């Protein structure tokens, strides 16, 4: 996750970054709102390596009316990236799952058990940014009953929870594992998101952290935070994302 000049993104500096395995990113080329092409994907990977990362589990969006990705489209893009890494002799491990928007199409995929997991039965999910889910406990129950364990991506970014932080406790109680975006801790998304992210971490509600990396602006923000030692005070006490090694 670094750096951020496109031509020098593998430049290494000393500092602290809380993960070596990233379980949330959009680095596969040309299939969602992340990397548009293989050249950008390679630059993003070099940036991640500059931060000390060794592995990414790419998680392209699956949203029925926007990004209609399937295991086939995801694995095809994954293969393109893996081959490019090999050709350039870049030693970086990339696997792929998906970030599933919890809509009716997701429930159909769930019933068919056609979901890509991060590892074992872990799946990455997301809510709408614009409207609060009516009954998140029913969603988690359905997912768990089908044998999966749901990770909820970036709950701190759902603004409808900002004035009721105890909902984060509730989400964990009903079975969601909470994943905080590292950029949320930097102020990148604003003060309210940063406050919510810190609440989740300080109250031991966070199970995973991820980059949610999409583009070079994210890399530049990570580089700045790395130099300012933003992450160590909050995250330095825990070995994050160990179950995904």
Tell me what pLDDT residue 242 has: 84
Mean of pLDDT over the chain:
93
- Supply the pLDDT for residue 14: 59
Domain count, the chain: 1
Compute the average pLDDT of residues 87-108: 97
- pLDDT for 109-156, tens place per residue? 999 999 999 999 999 999 999 999 999 999 999 999 999 999 999 999
Residue 52: inside a domain, yes or no? yes
Contact 109, 100 (CB under 8 A): yes
Instruction: Taking residues 232-244, report their average pLDDT.
Output: 91
pLDDT at 8: 38
Which domain CATH number covers 218? Answer: 3.20.20.140
Of 9 and 68, which is predicted with more confidence?
A: 68
User: Given a cut of 60, is residue 48 above it in pLDDT?
Assistant: yes
Q: Is it the case that residue 77 has pLDDT exceeding 90?
A: yes
Tell whether 244 is covered by a domain: no
Q: Does residue 14 or residue 208 have the better pLDDT?
A: 208
Q: For residue 4, what are the contacts with CB-CB under 8 A and spacing of at least 6?
A: 47, 216, 219, 220, 223
For 191, the domain range is 18-232
Evaluate whether residue 150 is within a structural domain. Answer: yes
- Whether residue 211 lies inside any domain: the answer is yes
- Supply the pLDDT for residue 10: 41
Residue 7 has pLDDT above 50, yes or no: no
Q: Convert the pLDDT of each residue in 80-92 to its tens digit.
A: 999 999 999 999 9
Q: Which has more confidence, 223 or 3? A: 223
Lowest mean pLDDT among 7-11, 18-22, 24-28, 78-82: 7-11
Handedness of CA 164, 169, 173, 175 (dihedral sign): positive
């Amino acid at each position: 996750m670094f750096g951020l000049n496109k031509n020098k993104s593998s430049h290494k500096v000393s500092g602290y970054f809380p993960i070596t395995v990233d379980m949330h990113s959009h680095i596969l080329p040309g299939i969602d709102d992340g990397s548009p092409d293989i050249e950008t994907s390679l630059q993003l990977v070099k940036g991640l390596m500059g931060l000390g990362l060794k592995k990414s589990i790419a998680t392209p969006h699956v949203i029925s009316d926007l990004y209609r990705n399937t295991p086939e489209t995801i694995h095809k893009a994954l293969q393109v990236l893996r081959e490019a890494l090999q050709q350039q002799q870049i030693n970086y491990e990339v696997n792929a799952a998906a970030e599933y928007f919890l809509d009716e199409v997701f429930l159909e995929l769930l019933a068919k058990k056609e979901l890509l997991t991060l590892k074992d039965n872990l799946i990455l999910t997301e809510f709408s940014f614009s409207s609060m889910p009516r009954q998140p406990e029913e969603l988690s129950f359905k997912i768990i009953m089908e044998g999966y364990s749901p990770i909820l991506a970036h709950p701190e970014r759902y603004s409808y929870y900002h004035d009721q932080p105890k909902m984060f406790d509730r989400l964990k109680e009903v079975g969601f594992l909470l994943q905080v975006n590292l950029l949320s801790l930097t102020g990148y998304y604003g003060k309210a998101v940063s406050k919510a992210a810190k609440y989740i971490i300080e109250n031991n509600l966070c199970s995973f952290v991820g980059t949610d990396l999409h583009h070079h602006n994210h890399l530049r923000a990570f580089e700045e935070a790395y130099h300012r030692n933003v992450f160590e005070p909050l995250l330095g006490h825990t070995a994050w994302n160990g179950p995904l090694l």
